[in-house]
Structure formats: structure tokens, C-alpha cells
Structure 1
Amino acid sequence: MQLNSESANASSARLISVSVVAYRPHRRMLERTLHTLDTALDRLCIVHQAASAPLYLINNGTDEPIDWSQLTNEARLRIDIIEGQGNVGYGRGHNLAIERTSSRYHLILNPDIELESDALVEAIAFMDAHPEVGLLSPMILEDDGCQQFLCRRYPAVFDLFIRGFLPRSLRKPFEKRLDRYEMRDVIGEKDIVLDPPIVSGCFMLYRTEVLKKLGGFDPRYFLYFEDYDLTLRTHDVARVAYVPSVRVLHHGGDAAGKGWTHIKLFIASAYKFFNRFGWKWL
């Protein structure tokens, strides 16, 4: 992405910024994320006659240093590395970028997301046309092209147990219950849905003023449920929109499949979440 002028630089800084938190990242996957982000930002900047947006890459890794220049050598992004803080958790990592940015929009992005080339053009066009919306969530696809249903109704503890820990072979009796939790009755490929109660933190496009008003993520969550918490608080100050014309591919997995440490983190964060917003067992 080439910088055209000083005014273009200023325009870009006001338009959008991006933050990605990485902890021992999968190299090839992060390269794909940065490449597709670069392409999507390139299209956005052409449409808005702006320069490249800043990407805050937060290194939460605590082991051997990463050669970021080698990892990002094919990307033309303007990258600011934030590191040295250790592994402070997902939400607090993003907060380090949120407190630095002064953009009009800020994109919270996972390092396992691939963006369609026109994803940001579609997203910013929608946000510009709907000033009441403070948070946009996209249509999220699996590796095989099937839709991931990551918009959620308020969960019961039983819903989380079924979805997170019950083997797929044993979930069939609870399919209707899970379908309702995952909003499959309203979340689809065509219709915009306003105010889904909860959306995924893998791709959250915010108006920066809304994000700052909320104070970013609640730092009490180390991992898991920080996006649930942030979405529910967003409804107090702005509207939330699911916009299926904005499309991304998500390579993420469930907590149970990642080992005992992730299971403990999931349970600890769930406890904090329900203590704050109210327990619902069944």
C-alpha cells in the first residue's frame, strides 16, 4: 500500500486501525491473516482515497522472540509491534492497542481469520450508513465453506457444557436447544440482523469512540468470555449488527480440544461472566 500524501496519512489514521493479539502464533496461519488483511485494507484505502491503516500486533508470547520482520515481509501493512508485557491475556492485549489508537473505526481481529477482499469495504460502507451501530459482526465461515454460527443468545450453563464439552456424537438430542442458542433461526447468508445479544470476538469492527467509552475489554478475563462481556455492555451505548455481506474465514477451535489448561481458563471465565450478568442454569 503506497502513501500518496500527508493528507492521505491523516485520513487513514482517522478511518481505521486494527489490533491482533498473538501468542505463539501458527506461522502460516498468521501470514494468511496478514496477507488477506493487507488486501482488504488496500481495497478500502482505494475506495476512500486513504493510506494504509496502522496494525497493532501485540506479542503476548513469553518464550523465544519472534522475528516479526520475517513473518510480515510479504505484507505492506504499517505495523506497530507491542511486546515486552508478557502474556497479559487476550482482552488486555487488545486494550494496549485500543488505548493508543485515535481512528474512526477499530477492528479487533484474531490471528486465525482470513478476510474476503471486499470485507472491509462492505463493513465500513454499512457503518457509515448506520451511525447508530457501534459494533459490526460478519458472516463467519468454516474451512469447508459452511457457516459458523457465532452470534449467540444469552447462554445457560447447560448450553455451554453441551457445546464445549459434550462429544458431537452425543449432542443430537440437544440439537434444537443448541440451534436456538446459536441463533440459527435468524442468522443466515442474506439478512442483516440487528442487536444479536452476543457476537464473536474473532472479528469485531467497532466505532472507536464506542470502544473507548466502554473502556475496551474487561481485564478480569484472561481468555474466553471477554467478547460475551464486551458485546453485552455495548448494547448499553450503541446498536450491534450482524452483516452477512461482510465475510471472513475462521480457523478457530473449541476450548475442550485444546487441553486441560484451556478448559480451566474457560471455566474460570464462565464463572466471572455469570457472576456479573446473572446465572442461568437450564
Structure 2
Amino acid sequence: MNPSASRPEIEGLSISVVVYRPDRAQLASTLASLSVACEILHASRPGLPVELCLVDNGGLPDVSAALEALRNRRVACTILSGHGNVGYGRGHNLAIDRSASRYHLVLNPDIDQDPQALREALDFLDSHADAGLLAPWIGDEHGRQQFLCRRYPALFDLLLRGFLPAPLRGLFARRLARYEMRDQINDCDIAWDPPIVSGCFMLFRTHVLKQLKGFDARYFLYFEDYDLSLRAHDVTRVVYVPAVRALHHGGGAARKGSAHIRMFMLSAYKFFNRFGWKWL
């Protein structure tokens, strides 16, 4: 039985973070930035229930100090473990099934968010009832903007962006800029309905996420956020809000070795089979 089936939706925010053998220092940094953001959120919304579900797909290091800091800032913390490495999307679904909050944040373990991020995000959703999925401005570890909103990709776009050496990408700069929506995405303007947004930080109205039945479990890793983004447009509006800010320390599949390249290609095959192949 769905654990939340008999629980009415309540005002509040739930957050899920899925980990598999994470870097301890980076995970601690992610939880520390979340703790500060929750403190500022509570300052503007006293008594707001906030809960974190840390989903352990394997290899969770000791982050008890970081979790204690969150609890001291009135964030309820739960660790889900013992299910094995079920994949990124299925891991988040374990937490989504338990959630009865109004909003749910899907968060990567390599994200450091701005202290004002959660307050800005919830304020925006509270004032825009038509928005059901919010994506933030994302920067890299040097503060340079990462363009993680995307148009529907051709296979060629994915190969260029994921595997072409950086010095050669300049030959296809105009094409990649279009794929990355650089004509619409910047650090100051809200952009409505980008086709695809990144799974590293996805803030949903929980009822929308449950209507979509969360992530498609057929993807073990990669493209589950592309899939969920495209399906979200069927039931709600998606919005990019640059006032909500975070830094992303993750790397692409090509930089993580052959196993990740294989998973990337397998998930790409599933994605294009479902939504339609576009080669060039």
C-alpha cells in the first residue's frame, strides 16, 4: 500500500536525496547548504513542516553531524536503506510515495544551494498557481552558469555535448546554444515552459508529482529527468526561475568511465524509443 494513501496533503516541504557511494565531503556540503536554506525558510514561514528523506542506495558515509544540524533547524530526517541500488529514479520514488507535503524537492547530493533558494522557490510557487515544476539557475563550482534547460535533443546533440572534447565544441557552438536554450535562459529572466529541466534540482507541487507517478523506473540512471520533464507538460506548467540559485558539482557520463557511458547510451535508447527518435 502507498504509505501516503491515507494521509491528506499538508502544508510543508519534503525533500529527497538519493545517494550511491557519494563523496562524503560533498554530501556534507550539500546537507549543510540545505540546513541554512531551511533556517531562512523557517524564518519567513515559522512552523512550516520540512522533512528530508535520504535514500541510501548503498555506501552512505557517516553524515550524522550534518543530519543533526538539520534536526536542530526543525527538519525531520529519515534514512531509507536496505533496498540495494535500485537506481536514481526508483530511489526518489521511495521517498515520493511517502510524501504528504504540498511541495517536494528532488535534490542531487552534489548541489549547494543559495541560502535564499527555498524561500524564493516557495514564494514563487505560492504566487503562481499554474506552475507545478520549478527549475532554478544552476552554476558550476566557479559560479559560471550551467545551461541545464534544454530543447528536445537530437542524438547528435547528446553526442556533441556529452562526448566531444571541449576544444572542438566551439565548432558546433551555435547548435549547442540552441539545444541549451541560451536564447531564452539567463540569470535574470523567468522562462516559462522549457521542454526539459535538470533532475539535480526539481521542485514540484507534490500532487503533480504523484499524478505523474514519479520517475519512470525503467531508467536506472540518466534521462529519467528528461522523461519526467516532458510528461510534466501534460499536466502542469514548468518554469525556470533564476532568483532561485544553486551550484552543481556533478560531471557528465563521459568523465565517469565506461560503465556510465554504457548506462547513458542504454537510457538514451529507452528515451528515444518512447518519445521519438531525432537524429540530426
Same fold (TM over 0.5): yes
Output the CA distance in 2 between the equivalents of 1:127 and 1:107.
Answer: 12
- Correspondence for 1:69 among 60, 64, 71: 64
% identity of equivalent residues: 60
1:42 matches 2:39: yes
In structure 1, give the amino acid aligned to 2:70: A
Cα deviation for residue 73 of structure 1 reads 4.0
- The residue that corresponds to 1:5 in the other structure is none
* Length-normalised TM-score, structure 2: 0.93
Secondary structure of the corresponding residue to residue 263 of structure 2? helix
Deviation at 1:70, TM superposition (A): 4.7
CA contact (8 A) 2:15 2:51 kept: yes
1:276 equivalent in structure 2: 274
**Structure 2: which amino acid aligns with 1:41?**
C
Q: Verify the 8 A CA contact 1:141 1:147 in the aligned structure 2.
A: yes
Letter in 2 for 1:177: R
Partner of 1:55 in structure 2?
52
RMSD, aligned CA? 1.5
Q: Distance in 2 between matches of 1:72 and 1:48?
A: 21
- The letter of the residue matching 1:67 is D
Looking at structure 1, the residues matched to 177 and 114 of structure 2 have their Cα atoms a distance apart, in angstroms, of: 26
Equivalents in 2 of 1:50, 1:214: separation in Å?
29
Q: 1:142 Cα shift?
A: 0.9
**Secondary structure of 1:15 counterpart:** strand
Alpha-carbon deviation of 1:50? 1.7
Q: Counterpart in 1 of 2:24?
A: 27
Query: Alpha-carbon deviation of 1:159?
Result: 0.2
1:123 alignment partner, SS class: helix
Equivalences for residues 200-215 of structure 1 within 5 A: 200-215=198-213
- Residue segments in structure 1 that go unaligned for 5+ positions in a row: 1-11
Aligned residues: 270
Structure 1 55/13 Cα, relative in aligned 2: closer, same or farther at 3 Å?
farther
In the TM superposition, 1:1-282 aligns within 5 A as 14-61=11-58, 66-70=61-65, 72-76=67-71, 77-282=75-280
| Distance of 1:71 and 1:155 partners within structure 2 | 38
Shift of 1:170: 1.5
Structure 1 stretch displaced more, 70-79 or 93-102 = 70-79
When normalised by structure 1's length, the TM-score is: 0.93
Code of the residue aligned with 1:202 in structure 2: it is C
Deviation at 1:218, TM superposition (A): 0.2
Q: Secondary structure at the match of 2:242?
A: strand
Q: C-alpha offsets along residues 196-221 of structure 1, whole Å, 9 cap, x if unaligned?
A: 00000000000000000000000000
Q: CA deviation at 1:49?
A: 1.4
User: Residue type matched to 1:195 in 2?
Assistant: D
8 Å CA contact retained: 1:41, 1:52:
no
Greater shift in the superposed pair: 12-21 or 51-60: 12-21
Give the CA deviation at 1:72. 3.1
Cα distance 1:70–1:39, how it changes in 2: closer, same or farther (>3 A)?
Answer: closer
* CA distances 1:20-73 after superposition (whole Å, capped 9, x unpaired): 001111111111111111111111122111245110000001x5x643425534
Higher mean C-alpha displacement, 79-88 vs 47-56: 47-56
Shift of 1:101: 0.5
> Using the alignment, how far apart are the partners of 1:264 and 1:245 within structure 2?
36
Change (3 A) 1:66 1:27: closer
